[in-house]
Amino acid sequence: MDIPVIDFSRYNESETRLSVAEEIVRTLETVGFLYLKNHGIPADQVTKVNDAAKVYFEQDVSIKKQFLRPNVQFESPGSGYSEIGLERLDGLNVTEVKESFDMIPSHLPPDESASASVLIPPLVELYRSCVNLTNQINHCIALGLKLEDENFFIKNHKGMGNRDANSSLLRVLHYPAFDETQYGDAITRLGAHTDYGMVTILFQCDVGGLEVETLDNVYVAAPVIPDTVLINIGDLLQDWTGGRLKATRHRVQLQGGVSHTQVRRSIAFFAEPDYNTVVESLDPAKYLKPKAAKDHIFKRYRETHLFQQNIQILLS
């Protein structure tokens, strides 16, 4: 199975907009992942984040920890650093050798926390572009699904950028090179998982390793293709469509030709519906229990941090 490359310049012309929307929906029904070319996000915005990320992640952990991501037990998602081992996306026993920095524009580090200052301006700029592209993709999905209201999904994402209303965030991931003896045997880069929300826009920097699960439960490589972004959908859109569109599992492994001696970086924009959105199947033939976007997203955050003892206590 190949992950298709779709030319998004067709979205800009009224005569071709519906055909690109239908192609996107068809691909999300089967593969769940697609590459977009001519997506409109300026390449230099991605380069600036990547360059800043190199500088940021080279700092000592104690410096990066000056501005930590909020504690997912008690607070909503927000901006900040997550150290190696903090999150486990696929079960509780495998350490994920990755660190990350998340950013939501309404929640920026205080001035005295200088460690992240190099990252913030390029992240804010790229966040804005990702919001624009998300709105266009959300428009396409509604068009391709033939919803009565072609702005249906756009209306449920008005709060992007405001942490009090919406959890959509831009995350820079850094998978370091490391010594074989450093973390024990049970390690990977990113455990297999589905994303939580609506749509994810992924920029893979230069080292590959991402793998996507097909409908036959086989993982295939999603290689780096210059000048494209990868798009996939999350659990809530799958539920909204009564399972018609697929939230596809994906992972980044150490095997598969990419060894732990190569640093990998990626940038992911996770677009999630506004907290007060109630997601229920748009297909009357496929009833699913309605769920509040906020409840689902917070639950997934707690589950992926469950191995931390204090969270286990909270959930028990």
Q: How far is the CB of 44 from ligand AKG (least distance, A)?
A: 21
Nearest alpha carbon to residue 222 among 205, 210, 232, 237: 210
CA distance 125 to 55: 18
Return all residues near 11 (Cβ < 8 A) that are at least 6 apart: 17, 20, 21, 136, 140
Q: How far is the CB of 222 from ligand AKG (least distance, A)?
A: 8
Q: What number of chain residues touch ligand AKG (CB under 6 A)?
A: 10
For the chain, state the CA radius of gyration: 19
Nearest alpha carbon to residue 162 among 275, 301, 298: 275
Q: Which is nearer to ligand AKG, 129 or 204 (CB)?
A: 204
Query: How many CB atoms are located within 10 Å of the residue 292 CB?
Result: 14
Does 36 interact with ligand AKG (rule: CB under 6 A)?
A: no
Give the footprint of ligand AKG on residues 239-278 (CB under 6 A). 250, 252, 266, 268
Q: Which is nearer to ligand AKG, 140 or 190 (CB)?
A: 190
Does 204 interact with ligand AKG (rule: CB under 6 A)?
A: yes
Q: Per-residue contact track with ligand AKG, 145 to 174, x per CB under 6 A?
A: ----------------------------x-
Q: Which is nearer to ligand AKG, 141 or 169 (CB)?
A: 169
Strand partners, 228: 37
CA distance 79 to 124: 11
Return all residues near 101 (Cβ < 8 A) that are at least 6 apart: 53, 56, 64, 79, 80, 81, 82, 116, 119, 123, 171, 172
CA distance 181 to 74: 34
Does 210 interact with ligand AKG (rule: CB under 6 A)?
A: yes
- Give me the residue whose beta carbon is nearest to ligand AKG: 266
Q: CA–CA distance from 231 to each of 106, 155, 234 (Å)?
A: 25, 20, 10
Q: Of 11-19, 56-64, 139-147, 202-210, which segment contacts ligand AKG by CB under 6 A?
A: 202-210
Does 202 interact with ligand AKG (rule: CB under 6 A)?
A: yes
CA distance 175 to 19: 38
Q: Which is nearer to ligand AKG, 76 or 232 (CB)?
A: 232
Q: Which is nearer to ligand AKG, 139 or 174 (CB)?
A: 174
Does 195 interact with ligand AKG (rule: CB under 6 A)?
A: yes
Q: How far is the CB of 150 from ligand AKG (least distance, A)?
A: 28
Residues at the site binding ligand AKG, with contacts judged by CB under 6 A = 173, 190, 195, 202, 204, 210, 250, 252, 266, 268
